[in-house]
Amino acid sequence: MDVLDLLLNLRAKGTTITLDDTANTLRLRGKTENLTAQDKDLIRTHKTALMDFIRTERVKQKDYATIPPVPAQPDYALSDGQRRLWYLSQADENAVTYNIPSVLELTGPLDAGLFEHAINSVIERHEILRTVFRENAQGEPRQHVLSASELAFRLRYSDLSAHPNGDDQVRAEVHQDLAVAFHLGQGPLLRASLFQLATDRHVFYYNMHHIISDGWSMQLLTKDVLTSYLALVQGQENVLEPLKIQYKDYAAWHLQQLSGDSLHTLENYWKEKFTGELPIMQLPSSKTRPALLTHNGAFHTIALDQATTHQLRHLSQQLGGTLFMGLLACLKGMLYRYTGQEDMVIGSPIAGREHSELEDQLGFYVNTLALRTQFSGQDSFEALFERVKATTLGAFQHQLYPFDRLVETVGLRRDPSRSPLFDVMLNLQSADATSTRAAQEANSLASADFVISQEVASKFDLSFRCHEQPDALSIRMEYNTDVLDSFFIEQFGRHFTDFVAAILRDSTQPVGRIDYLSEEEKNSLPLTNTETDFASSTGSLLAEFGAVVLAHGSRVAVRGRSGSRLTYAELDAQSSQLA
Task: Check residue 528 and give its pLDDT.
Answer: 45
pLDDT in the model for residue 440 = 44
Same fold yes or no, 80-248 and 261-431+451-513: yes
CB within 8 Å of 155: residues ≥ 6 apart: 112, 115, 116, 119, 192, 193, 194
* DSSP strands (E only) in 108-221: 131-135, 141-145, 156-159, 190-198, 201-209
User: Got the DSSP string for 66-132?
Assistant: --PPPPP-S-BPPPHHHHHHHHHHTSGGGTTTTEEEEEEEEES---HHHHHHHHHHHHHH-GGGGEE
CATH no. for 261-431+451-513:
3.30.559.30
Sign of the four-CA dihedral 291, 297, 298, 299: positive
pLDDT band at 30 (very low <50, low <70, confident <90, very high): confident
Task: Compute the distance between CA of residue 525 and CA of residue 568 in angstroms, rounded to an integer.
Answer: 11
In the predicted model, is pLDDT for residue 556 greater than 80?
no
Domain range annotation of the chain: 3-60, 80-248, 261-431+451-513, 519-578
Residue-level pLDDT at 60: 53
The pLDDT tens digits for 119-153 are 999 999 999 999 999 999 999 999 999 999 999 99
Spatial distance between the Cα atoms of 433 and 410, rounded to a whole number of angstroms: 40
CATH of 80-248, one of 3.30.559.10, 3.30.360.10, 3.40.50.300, 3.30.1330.40: 3.30.559.10
Q: Higher-confidence residue: 555 or 159?
A: 159
Structure confidence by residue, pLDDT tens digits, 438-490: 444 444 688 888 878 777 888 899 999 999 887 889 999 999 999 999 999 99
Write down the pLDDT at residue 224. Answer: 94
The pLDDT of residue 530: 44
Mean pLDDT over residues 10-22, rounded?
Answer: 74
pLDDT score of 554 more than 60: no
**Confidence tier at 553 by pLDDT (50, 70, 90):** low
Q: Is residue 534 predicted with pLDDT exceeding 60? A: no
Q: Average pLDDT in the 196-219 region? A: 95
Task: Please check the confidence at residue 310 and state whether its pLDDT lies above 50.
Answer: yes
Residue 436 has pLDDT above 50, yes or no: no
Residue 361 has pLDDT above 60, yes or no: yes
pLDDT for the residue numbered 49: 83
Higher pLDDT, 530 or 148: 148
Sort strands 462-469 and 424-429 into parallel, antiparallel or unpaired. Answer: parallel
Higher pLDDT, residue 367 or 88: 367
Predicted TM-score of the model (pTM): 0.80
Integer Cα distance of 456 and 447 in angstroms: 22
In the chain, the amino acid numbered 399 is Q
How far apart CA 129 and CA 153 sit, in angstroms, is 10
Q: What is the pLDDT of residues 80-122, one digit of tens each?
A: 899 989 988 887 766 788 899 999 999 999 999 999 999 999 9
Q: Name the pairing type of β-strands 190-198 and 201-209.
A: antiparallel
